Structure 1
Amino acid sequence: MGDKAHTHPGAAGRAQAADRPTSVRNVVLVGHSGSGKTTLVEALALTAGAANRAGRVEDGGTVSDYDDIEHRQQRSVQLSLVPVEWGGIKVNLLDTPGYADFVGELRAGLRAADAALFVVSAADGVDGSTRMVWDECAAVGMPRAIVVTHLEAARADFEEMTRICAETFGGDDPDAVLPVYLPLRGPEGPDGHTPVTGLIGLLTQKLFDYSSGERVESEPVGDHVPLIAEARGRLIEGIIAESEDETLMDRYLGGEDVDVKTLIEDLQRAVARGVFFPVLAAAPAAPGARQGLGTVELLDLITGGFPTPLEHGTPRVTTPDGRPRELKPCDPDAPLAAEVVKTSSDPYVGRLSLVRVFSGTLRADQTVHVSGHGLSDRGHEDHDVDERVGALSTPFGKQQRPVSHVIAGDLACVAKLGRAETGDTLSGKDDPLVMEPWEMPDPLLPLAIEAHSKADEDKLSQGLSRLVAEDPTMRLEQNPDTHQVVLWCLGEAHADVALERLRSRYGVQVDVVPHRVSLRETFGGKASGRGRHVKQSGGHGQFAICEIEVEPLPNGSGIEFVDKVVGGAVPRQFVPSVEKGIRAQAVKGVAAGHPLIDVRVTLLDGKAHSVDSSDAAFQTAGALALREAAADARIHLLEPVAEVSVLVGDDYVGPVMSDLSGRRGRVLGTEQSPGGRTLIRAEVPEIEIGRYAVDLRSLSHGTARFSRRYARHEPMPPQVAERVKEEARAAS
């Protein structure tokens, strides 16, 4: 790491399919929006020879050309794969969006990767969402390294940023987060700023100057020597503390000079085991330059220190009927077990599935079994079908380079899998398997939509089905109470991208309308009603009269019907007709058009005609009786109440609890959680938390999470209920 001679690899940098798992590294880039992940990927591709000095691939487009929406919105909105080759190793760089609304793409990248590269801006620091992802990686033992970017910013301070990273990511062991290079600064400019022109290798004690556009190695002189000595001693102690050689620390403290080769090997092993987290620096190449600052060192770390897919293991695998299945990790000759980590649509190729092969070998034109992912509650169909694989390719920008097969440990794109969706498992048709799905965030921001025109209405259903097939973090709801089509999203940016994709990709224009919650109605006290349906118009007429009493019941009782007619005032065959009419009217509502619940309706009396009475007449009379009872009664509007759990940093507990109270919420209690966080449990009317996903993110600076589930319906406050009734009357 740092002492190798490097030459421009040219065409060798353009990675194809790997020939063995040990020649693959799968790395996901993590960091907040604007931290420089995509720029870093392009710089690595340039250094590896996969792109030219203009950042363009050989057959057109740039490394980051992946989605037109990303160009319009000037931010990454989806996971993208950029494969490069370095020193005979294929490196699959998985670039993830940094914006919280696209955390589903981030989780897909974490699933497909074997190690994570945390990209931190020297100018902006570490945000709360990045800290949470670090904790997730720590929980599963994923190896990690840190790259500090934006060193050219006036307020950038590499040393301070390194200290912050050690405090933030090091936990109880800040010496596990240490720089392996220090910035080499050039002469002070007219503005007093000293630009970073290269790196100082702490282990090799070499200077690597990038100021000429080429990486030039030299020996340290002058002030560099004491600077190296202090930082190098701490780094060596940090490496030795995590060494598998338990005698090394005693030998080092005893004055033995540990050779550089041993230190580098121990560093690489500690990184691969996920117990040491090196900090590096990187910057894009200057115009006309061939290598970006720190990119050579970073590629060396990835290929030398990050684990191979053999060391990652395979997610839990079962047969479709749930029986556990053991597979040898990452064996190209084992049964096929692959997973769709991303689904997208290409205007020329059609549907493209980005697949990580965990076991076996996937071949072009092979017939595979597609098993569902258990997200039917989000509008995603579970699958259990055979499909023929189309062409296999490795992506680079908007280009697809054909490959004949993909071995265990590698990633590639699969064309024309018409039924497979993100999260589905691909396996042998004669040996179907299902992988345990990764955790998906719950979409909690509702977006109610309507087709803009009749032409759009005809295309809406197909467009929506394709949209949710691509994005398992989106939930499609056809609400039977409000009759609205609702897309549940992770945030406003997620919703904007969904609408844009419907319009530009699927040709469907929709209008966003106010989202309505499922209200209910009930009686506030006893009431009586008389339903009289008498008509005579030649031939058989219509005659039915019934008298009822309505009284409220406890929450959750539904509609109860009681027959207390005596003397045959309502013939026995027409009593069910009265009940049917009452229940039909209850579904329509009696005040503001919302279903009536939790009442007992008692049929007391009525009249019939020997010729003109009928089933239909008594149904109508029953409905009329219920409406008349409601006209003279207090009708309560019931609103759904949700149980809400908010996990928030201790610093924001007060503001969050105050905000919940302002939403008519009742705080039920709090619990301390690990990591300086508090779990707040509350009950809040659903009408008050339609935009809570957005508001909570703003309130907590993106560090809080919440979940919700329906608890019950309960009466609205009179002033709120009256406003809803007025709106209903105005709309009718």
Structure 2
Amino acid sequence: MADRAATHTAAPVVERPEELRNVVLLGGTGTGKTTLVESLALTAGALTRVGGVPDGTTVADHEEVEHQQQRSVQLALVPLSWQDCKINLLDAPGYADFAGEMHAALHAAEAALLVVSATDPVSAPTLALWRECRAAGLPTAVVLTHLNAVRVRLDEVLATLREALGEGHPDTVLQLCDTALRDGRLLGSVELLSGRRYGDPGDIPGLEADRGHLVEAIAGEDDTLLERYVAGEELDAEALGAALRREFLAGAVHPVVATAPPAEPTGAAPGAAELLDLIAAVFPSPLDRSDDLPACDPAAPLAAQIIHSGEDPYVGRLSLARVWSGTVRPDTTVHVPGGADEKITALSCPFGKQQRPVPLALAGDLVSLAKLAAARTGDTLAADDRPALPLWTQPEALLPAAVEAHSKADEDKLSQALARIAAQDPSLRVEQNPDTHQLVLWCTGEAHQAVVLDRLRSRYGVHVDTVEYRVALRETFASGASGHGRHVKQSGGHGQFAICDLTVEPLPGGGFEFVDKVVGGSVPRNFIPSVEKGVRAQLAHGVTTGYPMVDVRVTLTDGKAHSVDSSDAAFQTAGALALREAAANGRIQLLEPVDEVQVLLPDEYQGAVLSDLSARRGHVLGTEPGGPGMSLLRAEVPELELTRYPVELRSLSHGTGQFSRSYLRHAPMPANLAAQHGRAS
């Protein structure tokens, strides 16, 4: 290993974009992704031991909440030098709550590594991450971990992967190395194309047969190679490697590499060198990208994009940017489309808690920018006034948490702290609900909610209390009623005099309608708008429940006025009093919001989710195919039943279900539920 990579402390530097490899690393909880990253860093010489070193250097700068949750919650960049390449490993969270961070990494990378545990190779989270890679159009390789587990057979694991990931073409899932597994240990491997030996594999039975299968699979995708192979010509490793690269970049094949953690903290990590060799030789560089983003040209005008934002206790805000075109240097002023200009001061290359200074970052690279004042995650940094670069997909924040400042001191700091967190985390939606007057943090799940609350406390010293989230209900008249409003007061000088009679009737879906049927001038024309104004004010405050009243027709039928004591204010009060008396005489009905819901999930969970929607008083509108092996369910569900639905759906679908919702209408609430909410009258 010493001849392949030397231990270094300086940031990796490249001179040409073709020397770059931007790779997103994905894996579900418990697949061994963090251990793999450390093994790769150890093999590349970026670490001297797995688990960090005495000076505190670790592969990723983990927040305290990550240690508590035992999962990654944010994107981390791990830059490595290998075979004259700089490999930017984008270690992305695999948990659904942090899909926004994952999508940012998919957006910034040219290829993906999917980490799969040999003990459960086709788990629901793994298949969900596989679909994400395919949807992003990224060439994807598979890394096998946990081969040292009891009763794990490599041939059976590979067969399972080929069936699940091959999409009808199992030969596209390629085993690149024969491995020597003895007594639960991965001793070494032999690369099948070149014959290169890693570790101490010894004699591996079936080596030639396995190589023949691999050569057939690769040659079968290339007409020229296939003709040579059929003619009996021995295909050299260079030609086969070039063919493998072409097919990998086209997304037609998916190499599989087996790995294991080192036996000792400073020892060799089996499979790590093989994987790094594969990335350097086969994975695409930024020059291979062919989408609509700016071409990778270091000499072109600068166009970069912030893919992640964080905070350092000493440096302040740190923005991780992908440079699409041009070259970024310190002391450069850039334009943010739709915003203010920003000055880039220092550039650095992150490695855990370290920020290693770099003189520049050319097109295709990733770099940390310090102390940007206003630029948010997703913003474009450009040398000119060009349109903003496209954003990646953000998960919908559908889990509400109503919060209140714990003290007056916390209240003074809360607004600014939330603004800073929202600028760094586009998945968070902060709402001051105009109906319930609650401050609501809309999160993607419980884990995301815990992260947001922890950041408020640990980063900004703001303590909040969570309170019960209230759904914005409405009330209406369930039947017609009449009301008499009398506001007569005399206290010396001008008094107050206004009398009006109203009838109220339901107007389902019609909003509010005010009708004037006064005859004979019993209410002067100039005071009729005053009555309507008083009625509208009372409707906004509700008449019996405190919730706004909607969908009613109010008719002014009669009244009385005084030539001196009647006024605009008096008739406003009389109108409100008449409406309240009508409510006392009639029957009030509570209305609840109903949402249109769409649920996308694997077919095998459709029955459980349909049953659950029915139990939530949902009305299922239909089901339709949502892609290979997926179903799309459409339903109408009361919002009261959706408060915890992101959590419940994740449980029902083993983390693979997604849903969206949009407000549809307010509908009558069943009487028993209205009584439970204490709102019936």
Please indicate the TM-score interval, normalised by the length of the shorter structure. Answer: over 0.9
> What amino acid is the match of 2:221?
E
Matched residue, 1:544: 498
For residue 309 of structure 2, give the secondary structure of its aligned residue in structure 1.
strand
Instruction: Judge which range, 299-308 or 127-136, deviates more.
Output: 127-136
Deviation at 1:44, TM superposition (A): 0.8
Instruction: Choose from 672, 681, 686 the match for 2:625.
Output: 672
Matched residue, 1:374: none
Matched residue, 2:343: 388
TM-score by length of 2: 0.97
Matched residue, 2:82: 86
Deviation at 1:8, TM superposition (A): 5.0
Deviation at 1:54, TM superposition (A): 4.8
> What amino acid is the match of 1:27?
V
Deviation at 1:58, TM superposition (A): 8.7
Q: 1:42·1:64 contact (CA, 8 Å) conserved in 2?
A: no
Deviation at 1:147, TM superposition (A): 0.4
Instruction: Choose from 207, 210, 230 the match for 1:228.
Output: 207
Distance 1:313 1:358, change over 3 A: farther
Deviation at 1:475, TM superposition (A): 1.1
1:296 partnered with 2:293: no
Deviation at 1:433, TM superposition (A): 3.0
> What amino acid is the match of 1:442?
E
For residue 291 of structure 1, give the secondary structure of its aligned residue in structure 2.
coil
For residue 332 of structure 1, give the secondary structure of its aligned residue in structure 2.
coil
Distance 1:119 1:448, change over 3 A: same
Matched residue, 1:723: 676
1:33-70 Cα shifts (integer Å, max 9, x gaps)? 12111211111111111111254369632122332322
Matched residue, 1:405: 360
Distance 1:457 1:13, change over 3 A: closer
For residue 321 of structure 2, give the secondary structure of its aligned residue in structure 1.
strand
Where do residues 550-699 of structure 1 align in structure 2 (5 Å cutoff)? 550-555=504-509, 557-699=510-652
Following the alignment from structure 1 to structure 2, what is the Cα–Cα distance between the partners of residues 156 and 451? 52
Instruction: Choose from 94, 108, 121 the match for 1:125.
Output: 121
Matched residue, 2:449: 495
Where do residues 61-460 of structure 1 align in structure 2 (5 Å cutoff)? 61-186=57-182, 188=183, 194-209=184-199, 221=203, 224-225=204-205, 227-243=206-222, 246-313=223-290, 315-316=292-293, 327=294, 329-371=295-337, 383-428=338-383, 430-460=384-414
1:508 partnered with 2:487: no
Following the alignment from structure 1 to structure 2, what is the Cα–Cα distance between the partners of residues 54 and 669? 52
Deviation at 1:617, TM superposition (A): 1.2
Deviation at 1:630, TM superposition (A): 0.4
Deviation at 1:699, TM superposition (A): 0.8
Distance 1:282 1:171, change over 3 A: same
Following the alignment from structure 1 to structure 2, what is the Cα–Cα distance between the partners of residues 521 and 17? 65
Following the alignment from structure 1 to structure 2, what is the Cα–Cα distance between the partners of residues 31 and 352? 25
> What amino acid is the match of 1:536?
Q
Following the alignment from structure 2 to structure 1, what is the Cα–Cα distance between the partners of residues 521 and 4? 99
Distance 1:594 1:346, change over 3 A: same
Following the alignment from structure 1 to structure 2, what is the Cα–Cα distance between the partners of residues 410 and 716? 56
Deviation at 1:288, TM superposition (A): 4.7
Unaligned ranges ≥5, structure 1: 189-193, 210-215, 317-326, 372-382
Instruction: Judge which range, 642-651 or 22-31, deviates more.
Output: 642-651
> What amino acid is the match of 2:217?
G
Following the alignment from structure 1 to structure 2, what is the Cα–Cα distance between the partners of residues 685 and 140? 34
Unaligned ranges ≥5, structure 2: none
Q: 2:7·2:47 contact (CA, 8 Å) conserved in 1?
A: no
1:32 partnered with 2:32: no
> What amino acid is the match of 1:309?
P
Following the alignment from structure 1 to structure 2, what is the Cα–Cα distance between the partners of residues 126 and 172? 16
1:575-627 Cα shifts (integer Å, max 9, x gaps)? 11111110000000112111111111111111112222211111111111111
Q: 2:623·2:632 contact (CA, 8 Å) conserved in 1?
A: yes
Deviation at 1:670, TM superposition (A): 1.3
Q: 1:315·1:436 contact (CA, 8 Å) conserved in 2?
A: no
Following the alignment from structure 1 to structure 2, what is the Cα–Cα distance between the partners of residues 101 and 22? 34
Deviation at 1:257, TM superposition (A): 1.7
Q: 2:143·2:257 contact (CA, 8 Å) conserved in 1?
A: yes
Deviation at 1:315, TM superposition (A): 4.2
Deviation at 1:360, TM superposition (A): 1.0
Distance 1:653 1:680, change over 3 A: same
Q: 2:10·2:356 contact (CA, 8 Å) conserved in 1?
A: no
Q: 1:642·1:686 contact (CA, 8 Å) conserved in 2?
A: yes
Q: 2:163·2:170 contact (CA, 8 Å) conserved in 1?
A: yes
> What amino acid is the match of 1:100?
A
Instruction: Judge which range, 35-44 or 247-256, deviates more.
Output: 247-256
Following the alignment from structure 1 to structure 2, what is the Cα–Cα distance between the partners of residues 649 and 155? 29
For residue 706 of structure 1, give the secondary structure of its aligned residue in structure 2.
strand
For residue 105 of structure 2, give the secondary structure of its aligned residue in structure 1.
helix
Deviation at 1:32, TM superposition (A): 0.6
1:72-114 Cα shifts (integer Å, max 9, x gaps)? 3322111000101112211101111121111111111111111
1:201-248 Cα shifts (integer Å, max 9, x gaps)? 222345422xxxxxx5x7x53xx24x21222221111111223xx122
For residue 340 of structure 2, give the secondary structure of its aligned residue in structure 1.
strand
Following the alignment from structure 1 to structure 2, what is the Cα–Cα distance between the partners of residues 60 and 666? 55
Deviation at 1:11, TM superposition (A): 4.1
Following the alignment from structure 1 to structure 2, what is the Cα–Cα distance between the partners of residues 53 and 349? 27
Following the alignment from structure 1 to structure 2, what is the Cα–Cα distance between the partners of residues 720 and 663? 13
Instruction: Judge which range, 278-287 or 255-264, deviates more.
Output: 255-264
Deviation at 1:671, TM superposition (A): 1.2
For residue 409 of structure 1, give the secondary structure of its aligned residue in structure 2.
coil
Q: 1:426·1:433 contact (CA, 8 Å) conserved in 2?
A: no
Deviation at 1:16, TM superposition (A): 2.9
1:126-185 Cα shifts (integer Å, max 9, x gaps)? 322332332333244311110001122224332222122211211021101021112212
Instruction: Choose from 9, 16, 19 the match for 2:12.
Output: 16
Following the alignment from structure 1 to structure 2, what is the Cα–Cα distance between the partners of residues 433 and 314? 16
For residue 301 of structure 1, give the secondary structure of its aligned residue in structure 2.
helix
Instruction: Judge which range, 63-72 or 342-351, deviates more.
Output: 63-72
Q: 1:477·1:485 contact (CA, 8 Å) conserved in 2?
A: yes
Following the alignment from structure 1 to structure 2, what is the Cα–Cα distance between the partners of residues 252 and 708? 55
> What amino acid is the match of 2:601?
V
How many residues are treated as equivalent by the alignment? 681
Following the alignment from structure 1 to structure 2, what is the Cα–Cα distance between the partners of residues 141 and 520? 46
Distance 1:336 1:57, change over 3 A: farther
Matched residue, 2:472: 518
Instruction: Judge which range, 490-499 or 306-315, deviates more.
Output: 306-315
